[in-house]
Amino acid sequence: MAEEIKRMGPPKATDLKGEEFTWSIQLSAAPSREWSKLFSEPAESTVLCHPRRLGMMHQALVFKSDESHLSTWIQYVDKWIAGANRSLLEMEEPERQKKAKALAEEEERQRRIREVNEKAKNL
């Protein structure tokens, strides 16, 4: 199952052109293709703050914004990260349930084998 992605610390300015900074946000892990797709299709965005206006580079998100809009960007980025994590978990739930059922069935099979061997040991 996929590792939950988290924002690692505050954004860091890496460039400045006019009044617009280039910001980088480090992530806890490199996002999977599925996670990236879910992240780029959020339930909530604005014209100013939209995932299509940022880039993903390995374990970082990069976007351009003036300083006055940075806190709004971070609020949205945090929502998008949480939404992608939640959606990916929901997508993986049927597979997780299938594996749990298979494990329970195997444990029951092994229990029955031990039980029958215990009954047959004095024959």
* Selection from 14, 27, 17, 89 nearest residue 59 by Cα: 27
Whether pTM > 0.75 for this model: the answer is no
The answer, yes or no, to whether residue 94 has pLDDT greater than 80, is no
β-bridge mates for residue 56, sequence order: 61
**Strand runs (DSSP E) across 1-123, as ranges?**
12-17, 20-26, 54-57, 60-66
The answer, yes or no, to whether residue 2 has pLDDT greater than 70, is no
Q: Report the length, in residues, of the chain.
A: 123
pLDDT digits (tens, 9 = 90+) for 39-51: 999 988 888 899 9
> Measured between alpha carbons, how far is 116 from 103 in angstroms, rounded to an integer?
20
